[in-house]
Amino acid sequence: MIDQAELTWFLSTGGCYFERSPFGAVLDRLDNAAHVSRRCPICEDGIVTSNVKRWHSQRLLWVRNAPIGAWCNRCGGTGSIPQRLSCDEQKLVDDGTMTVRSDGDSQRAAVPDQVLVRYAHVSRTLSRMRPTLRNALMAAYGDEGEDLAATVHGRSWACSPLTPGGSRLLRLERDRRVRKKGVEPERPIRALTALARLNGHRKDPERAELLASAARDANALLRAAEAEWDRVIDVTQKRSA
């Protein structure tokens, strides 16, 4: 039997601990310090002003298929090109002023060890699953899956966008010139739920068939994902025994 409580905690409450952790702030700062903007060697200001070839860093660079006055296709019209610094250059950028309090009174507090262990256990189990089954499990036991668990659709319906029938329905709605009221393809699960609730869907045989197919495949996908979770847990426990 799948450990529903651990999955639900991991996909909701567990992640909230890291929002107040100093670890995220440190990673953000390191990433920002590792990049700089260089003046584009082609246009210098984002707009192509000539077709003259320019030498830069012993390489011959030029704007291809870009007429004078067009946006530079090298920098996208920004006039600058992002560049990652080398390890030695990053050391020179760091001024050593980064400080983060980790006590209880801080706005950002370190994640407790027991939470890290619990979070890592679920994270490692998910990482050992096949991507398709992992995505299905995370969808079914995430927030939208929890909301659907108490409905007639069941939590497996959260996997419907991952099925052939569900993805085709969403594609048809994206391509429709006039969208149906309440159906937003940008929010897949809600869009498919709204389509299932539409009155008169029986008059559209293709939609009715796709909805039925999506429901069947979503249920089978979730069952396979749960079986995969149990298999990974079992293998992990045998290795650690």
Q: Any idea where the domains of the chain sit in the sequence? A: 113-240
Reported confidence tier of residue 1, pLDDT bands at 50, 70, 90: low
What confidence tens digit (pLDDT) does each residue in 94-112 have? 555 544 444 444 445 567 7
Phi and psi at 199, nearest 5°, equal -70, 145
pLDDT greater at residue 158 or residue 35: 158
What confidence tens digit (pLDDT) does each residue in 77-94 have? 788 888 877 777 766 665
What confidence tens digit (pLDDT) does each residue in 101-157 have? 444 444 455 677 888 888 888 999 999 999 999 999 999 999 899 999 889 899 999
On whether the CB atoms of residues 118 and 6 are closer than 8 A, the answer is yes
Q: How far is CA 2 from the centre of its chain?
A: 24
How many whole angstroms separate alpha carbon 64 and alpha carbon 51?
A: 9
How many whole angstroms separate alpha carbon 6 and alpha carbon 10?
A: 6
On whether the CB atoms of residues 15 and 118 are closer than 8 A, the answer is no
What per-residue confidence (pLDDT) applies to 226? 93
- Count Cβ atoms below 10 Å from residue 218 Cβ, excluding itself: 27
Q: What is the DSSP letter of 155?
A: G
Contacts by residues 2-5 (CB-CB < 8 Å, ≥ 24 positions apart): 2/226, 2/229, 2/230, 3/233, 4/141
DSSP 159-203: GGGGSHHHHHHHHHHHH-SSPPTT--TTSHHHHHHHHHH-TTGGG
What per-residue confidence (pLDDT) applies to 32? 75
On whether the CB atoms of residues 39 and 79 are closer than 8 A, the answer is yes
When the pLDDT of each residue in the chain is averaged and rounded to a whole number, the result is 78
Is the pTM value of this prediction over 0.85?
no
Question: What length does the chain have?
Answer: 241
Pairing of strands 54-56, 59-61: antiparallel
On whether the CB atoms of residues 20 and 59 are closer than 8 A, the answer is no
How many whole angstroms separate alpha carbon 203 and alpha carbon 191?
A: 19
Residue found by looking up tokens 């847990």 in the block: 233
What per-residue confidence (pLDDT) applies to 63? 44
